[in-house]
Structures are given as C-alpha cells and as structure tokens.
Amino acid sequence: MASCHKDDDTDNQTDENGVITSLSYQWKKSLHNGDTFNSNGRIKSPIYYNGNIAIPTTNGENSRFLTMINPTNGETIWQWNDNYLPYSNQISISYYYQYNNLLTYQTGTNSYCVNLDNGTTQWKFQRNKPYDVRINTYNNSYFGYSAINNQEGNDEQICYQGNLQTGELTEFLRANLSSNYISPTGIGGIIYVNQIPNQENNLLVTYAEPLPDNEVNSFIGIYNTVNDSWVWDRKLLSSPNINTSVFSSPQIYNGKVIANVGKKLVCHSLETGEQIWRKPFPQDFLFSGFIIEDDKVIANNEDTFTYCLNPENGNIIWKTESSGTSGRMSYLNGIVYFVGGSTGKLHAIDVSNGEHVWKINAGNLGESGSSSFKTNAVYVFEAENGNPAKIIALSHLNAYSFEAYQ
C-alpha cells in the first residue's frame, strides 16, 4: 500500500565541522501511501524477522498498520492492523517479546500477539485491567506487570508470566517489600540471568517502594525460580530521592549489573549485589537509555549530551553534545545510531572518540524544510553478499535506507 523508489537527487553535504548532514539514500518508502502526513505510530526497538523488518505505516488516512518490509528494496510483505479501535489505538510498541514467529506487545488493557510469518493475529485480549507496556523475556515465555490491591489496601505492581501461544497470564512474583512504607510501588523489571556460579534459573529483579515526602527507595535482588527464594535481595541502588524508581531493565556485563536509576547510572556485583560504582548526571536516561558495546557504556542523557563510560569503574571516557530526548540507540561497526527527538535529526556517533559523523536532516532529503526524523527504532544490517552495511531510519513521511557509515 505504501510505495518506495530508488530515485535519489540528494547531494552529500557536510557542515563546518565535517559532519554529514545530507546523504544519498539507497531507497525511500512512503509511510502513508503518499506525501500527506499522518501519525503512523512508533516502534521503539527494532523488530527483525527472517531478514526483514517491521515498521509503522498508515494507508494515507486513518488506518494504522504494523508493516513488514524487505530491507533490500522497501517493498511491503504484509500489513497488520487488527487493533481494538484502530484509529485511536495507534501502532505503539515500546517493548515486545518475540520468540520464533510470534511477537507480543501490550498497550493499556489491550494485549496482542502477531504471527510474523504472514501478519495474522495469533491472539488478542482486552484485559480487565491495564498492564505496563514493559515486557521482559523468560525462557519461552514472558513477563508482564500490573497493579493489584494488596492486603494493606495499597496498589502494588506485581509480575505475571505470560504464555506466548495462548496469551494466558498467571501471577509469578511479588517484590520483597518492607512493611514500613505505605503505598508500595512494586516490581520495576526482571531479566533472566544464568551467570552466577552453582546457581541456575536466576532472575534479576528491580523494584521500588515510596518513602515519605514523595521520595523513593529502589532495590535490586536475585530470585531463584527453582528454590523459589532470594539468593540476595534489597540491595539499595541509589540513595532515596524523588527520582530514583527503576522502571527499565538493567544490563549484565562481565559479572556486573549496570542500571539507570533516575539521574544516576549504577553498577553492582552480579554475584553479591554490592555496589561497585555510582555516577550522577544532570538529568535522567528514561527515553533513550543506554547500551554496552565495545567495552563501553553509551548513554543518552536528557541534559543534551551523549556519554561514554568505562563499565569497570564508571569513569567518563568522553561526552558529546547531541540531542537530549532521543530514540533508543542501535549499534553497528563502531557507530551508534539514533534519532534525536529535540533535534529531529538522524545522529551517528563514533564510539571510539565521541565525535559525530552524521547529523542528517530530513529537510535535506527532498522533504519540506520543516520535516524531521521520528524517534522510531533505527535498523542496522551488517555487510552481506558483497553489499555494504546499511541502516534504515524513519522520518515522519518516509523510511530511508542508507549505506552505513562504516
């Protein structure tokens, strides 16, 4: 339904610092079956399947689609829009769980599972209460999160285990909350780990509980699913303040747990839970988060800078002015790619030195001067079969395929 073509009359351009601001593209594809702007939803993390990718599109009017395309030429393979209330409920996928040919995501009370082979609905439900958009993976199932009213009469967010084949949810885990605090917040995220000697089937759990004066304590623990017990627990991630809740999953690197907690990045021992380092920043990392590549922690902070840290000690290796609010980062061959929400540009940064190599403006690609890139996922592809590495990014109007910087 949406067209694509390879006609490219753009010129490669650079700014006064040698940063590329306009780049010839391999192909571009209209996201809206024409040049009219429509809100086509957002996919925050790349969805790959059988060498193809899923992106959000419209039919040029009010129907929103999850569309699988061929990254070689942008041609549509299938489209899915079996949403409840498709006009008001846009394609909005912040987190998802994908196993083999099935992908599930959550928005409000609505749960969906899509067959990626053909774009059909495996199942969908309108739940009796809302669930968080966050989904974490666990073996061949997944974790979702929703609040219940606990015995003390307070709302507590707990973890449910989901069956990908059927969509059935069963209560799985509650945080080890203290009885000293009112209105507990509960579990923030869970990731599966299996890296502690002589331990198997461990889950790394983050959770939070409020303190007086709107402050929050955030904790981390390891839960063993075989013994149904905590290996270690209630390790404080950060000194309490009004911005320390953990609602994004940590990452594991070289025996360490690294997490963004409010305005801090913190690192704990995976084996003992003891804190190794803590680094404060001017703002938080909630929109873009961080990645770990090339033995470096790369993080986009809301203070308009991208930071690179040494994961062993938290020391800052470099920082570079970028965009503040931005989409999530993708990495390929020493370069991190993302779309700046405040700049509207497609950014590319060399992780070896923090220097920008791209700040591509959609207005330089044949779109109107006010056009911008949208903070969707950026898709990356290694070189293959004699073809160069490439990246695919979306403006508000088009999907573009570019040869990667390197």
Question: For residue 10, what pLDDT band results from cuts at 50, 70 and 90?
Answer: low
From residue 215, give the alpha-carbon distance in Å to each of 147, 207, 301.
20, 14, 22
The mean-pLDDT minimum among 7-21, 50-64, 160-174, 378-392 falls in 7-21
Q: Tell the burial category of 179 from Cβ atoms under 10 Å away from its Cβ (0-12, 13-18, 19+).
A: exposed
Tell me the pLDDT tens digit for each residue of 145-178.
Answer: 998 876 666 678 889 999 999 999 999 998 888 7
CA distance 10 to 5: 14
Looking at per-residue pLDDT, the higher value among 95 and 140 belongs to 95
209 pLDDT more than 90? no
SS3 content of the chain, % helix, strand, coil (to 5): 0, 50, 50
Sheet holding 27-30, edge to edge: 4-5, 27-30, 398-403, 390-394, 379-381
Q: Residue 9's pLDDT is what? A: 57
Looking at per-residue pLDDT, the higher value among 386 and 246 belongs to 386
Do the Cβ atoms of 279 and 264 come closer than 8 Å?
yes
Do the Cβ atoms of 185 and 219 come closer than 8 Å?
no
By DSSP bridging, strand 42-43 and strand 92-93 are parallel
Mean pLDDT of the chain: 89
Percent of residues, the chain, with pLDDT higher than 70: 91
Output the six-digit token pair for 43. Answer: 């996919």
Q: Running DSSP on this structure, what letter comes out for residue 250?
A: -
Tell me the pLDDT tens digit for each residue of 39-49.
Answer: 778 999 999 99
Question: Can you give the length of the chain in residues?
Answer: 406
Average pLDDT over residues 325-337: 96
Question: For residue 88, what pLDDT band results from cuts at 50, 70 and 90?
Answer: low
- Other CB atoms within a 10 A radius of the CB of residue 164 amount to 20
Q: DSSP readout, 45-94? A: S--EETTEEEEEEE-SSS-EEEEEE-TTT--EEEEE---SSTTTS--EES
Average pLDDT over residues 209-237: 87
Q: Residue 279's pLDDT is what? A: 95
Most confident by average pLDDT, 27-36, 139-148, 388-397: 388-397
Average pLDDT over residues 135-150: 85
CB-based contacts of 398, cutoff 8 Å, min separation 6: 28, 29, 30, 31, 362, 365, 367
68 pLDDT more than 80? yes
Coil/strand/helix, residue 37: coil
The mean-pLDDT minimum among 46-50, 165-169, 207-211, 263-267 falls in 207-211
Looking at per-residue pLDDT, the higher value among 351 and 370 belongs to 351
CA angle 40, 288, 211 (to 5 degrees): 115
Residue type for position 34 = G
